[in-house]
Amino acid sequence: MRRTLHISICLAGLAALAAHAEIVDRIAVSVGNRVITESDLYREIRLTAFLNGQKLDFSPESKRQTAERLVDQRLMRTELDMSRYLLPSTEESDAALKELKSRFPDDAAYRRGLAEYGIREDDLKARLAWQLTLVRFIDVRFRAGIQVGDEEIRNYFNQHLRPVLEKTHPGQPLSLDDYRDRIEQTLTGEAADQQAEQWLKRARSRNRIVYHDEVFR
């Protein structure tokens, strides 16, 4: 009888733990055979707000927008896992963290910021490393093959830059060559973003993505 009672108590305890775990860290989105949990959403919201100097926003709309961003990141991570992209070094990640800390008056202010947003430094380091990885992924995957022609540069200068420059610097001679590199970088970035968006659309269509609405209420 005691053995039966002990087993019943254990099973009840396990059931309670399972129920608690479900409440604490529910699945927010399923992406193929991978998942994004509710805690992933909250961590991303905290990190993004901290990095952008914004107020924390856990509204349903904010969580949904964050989920969309995490889905894109999960698809990119899958591509990275299957390919041989050069990941950022420890030195690069440490440099990114050092640059971030320089925005604060001192280390104590930085630590208070982490505490205010409920962030662990390890999570922040991982986020900064991911940002470096993402930039490198886009550069290699999309930017590398983009060619911007002289006509495109000239059209951009005449249609976008020249009208602004003529208003801000009336009577000043304007030379396309002074802005060529900047325009080329802008057009290359826009083309890379467009290619990345198209790639993500195709990647989304190839994966079953399920949003669990109860998390976004």
Map tokens 């108590």 to a residue.
9
List the domain boundaries for the chain. 10-144+204-216
Q: How confident is the model at residue 152 (pLDDT cuts 50, 70, 90)?
A: very high
Given a cut of 80, whether residue 120 has pLDDT beyond it is yes
The mean pLDDT value of the chain amounts to 89
Q: How confident is the model at residue 24 (pLDDT cuts 50, 70, 90)?
A: low
Task: Give CB contacts under 8 A, 24+ apart, made by 198-203.
Answer: 199/141, 199/142, 200/72, 200/75, 200/76, 203/75, 203/78, 203/79
Q: How much is the pLDDT for 94?
A: 94
Cβ neighbours around 74 below 10 Å, total: 19
Q: Which amino acid is at 104?
A: F
Cβ-based neighbours of 56, under 8 Å, separated by 6 or more = 45, 46, 49, 117
Q: How much is the pLDDT for 86?
A: 77
In the CATH scheme, what is the code of domain 10-144+204-216? 1.10.4030.10
Q: What is the rounded radius of gyration, in angstroms, for the C-alpha atoms of the chain?
A: 24
Q: Which amino acid is at 216?
A: F
Detail the DSSP E strand segments found in the chain.
27-31, 34-37, 209-211
Q: How much is the pLDDT for 2?
A: 47
